Amino acid sequence: MKELNDLFRDFFDFDRKEIRAFYLLSWLLIFFVGLFGAKEFWLKSSAIVLDTQAQKSLDSLKLHFATLEAEKKATYQNAKKNHFSANKTKITAQRYNFDPNTISKAQWESMGLPHHIANRIENFLSKKGKFSIKDDVKKIYGFPEELFEEIKPYILLPDTFERKKFEKKTFENDKIFAEKNAYTKTPAKETVKILIDINEADSADFCTIKGIGAAFSSRIVKYREKLGGFISVEQLKEVYGLNAEMFEKIAPQIKLTSLANIRKININTADKKQLSAHPYIGYKKADVILNYRKQHKSYKNIDDLRNTSLISEEELAKMKPYLTI
């Protein structure tokens, strides 16, 4: 130790107090380095223990939630099975042979048909509609496919149209028949053709038009609501999917008699939502109409729309019947 003191004194020119201070600082440094190392070791050990405990807790929670999910699923499946069994028992108890052209609305509902569909059938029959074959029943808009398959065997109608077969007559028989009925022949009865008013008809009425099914019936009614009513039968060509060929087929079966209930939009009070919802206006023209109104405070008449730059004469002519001030 003395030799070490002499070394510090000679080399660093330390006196006795400075040497003692150096020793003290060295021991303190060694102490704190050792303390830091012990702390790191303790923290790593604690982390390992904590990680193990956390993993066990997490595994326990996962198992708990998995058990709850399995129980929930089993409960749902049992409830669904019981509900289906109960409904099936209830529905199959109301099965009997029937003619869909003659049974009442209450009888339809007793077989499990929703009330609003039963009303649709009643409305269809009241307007001289008729079911000719079994599959005609499921053409009623919204008729449940599953229910139709269940009641189909009980429907007292043929599966398909039956064509009558006529025996071939000889020339002699034709002559005798013609002579016999020469003075007793009566004129054939004229068939009364019922035309469907496209502003008054509902989806069930449109289904009676040859060439129009449930999907097109629904589209026509929805488009009419968006327009506010038809002002021309030609507007049916604007219905999605209804091409010119189909229009030519259905044109002899439809009519348009009244324009009194056309719904109009007041361009001095309507907001952007009301204007843009109309098929002939849309968002861009709605902005044009509103900007002009904002600049001029109000429209004096519908023709003021000619002063805007984005509405052509042709577009204005289409929009005009649906606008008011």
pLDDT in tens, 260-289: 789 999 999 999 999 999 999 999 999 999
Q: Is 76:82 a contact under the CB 8 Å cutoff?
A: no
- Indicate whether 79 pLDDT > 70: no
* Stronger pLDDT, 202 or 23, i.e. the higher one: 202
Give the mean pLDDT of 78-96. 57
For 176-264, list the strands marked E by DSSP.
196-197, 254-255
Tokens describing residue 299: 């429209």
- Rounded Cα distance, 229 and 262, in Å: 5
CA atoms within 13 A on the CB side of 58: 6
Cα dihedral across residues 45, 50, 55, 57: positive or negative: positive
| Contacting residues for 135 by C-beta, under 8 A, at least 6 apart | 159
| pLDDT score of 93 | 45
> How many residues appear in the chain?
325
Tokens describing residue 205: 């009425």
- Distance between alpha carbon 133 and the CA centroid of its chain, in Å? 30
- Indicate whether 90 pLDDT > 50: no
- Rounded Cα distance, 4 and 19, in Å: 10
Query: Taking all residues of the chain, what is their mean pLDDT, rounded to a whole number?
Result: 82
* Stronger pLDDT, 87 or 106, i.e. the higher one: 106
* Stronger pLDDT, 318 or 15, i.e. the higher one: 318
Q: Which residue has the tokens 């429907």?
A: 155
- Indicate whether 89 pLDDT > 50: no
| pLDDT score of 198 | 92
Q: Is 101:125 a contact under the CB 8 Å cutoff?
A: yes
* Stronger pLDDT, 171 or 78, i.e. the higher one: 78
For the chain, list the strands marked E by DSSP.
196-197, 254-255, 265-266, 323-324
In this prediction, residue 319 has a pLDDT band, given cuts at 50, 70 and 90, of very high
Q: Is 290:310 a contact under the CB 8 Å cutoff?
A: no
- Rounded Cα distance, 290 and 268, in Å: 9
- Indicate whether 10 pLDDT > 90: no
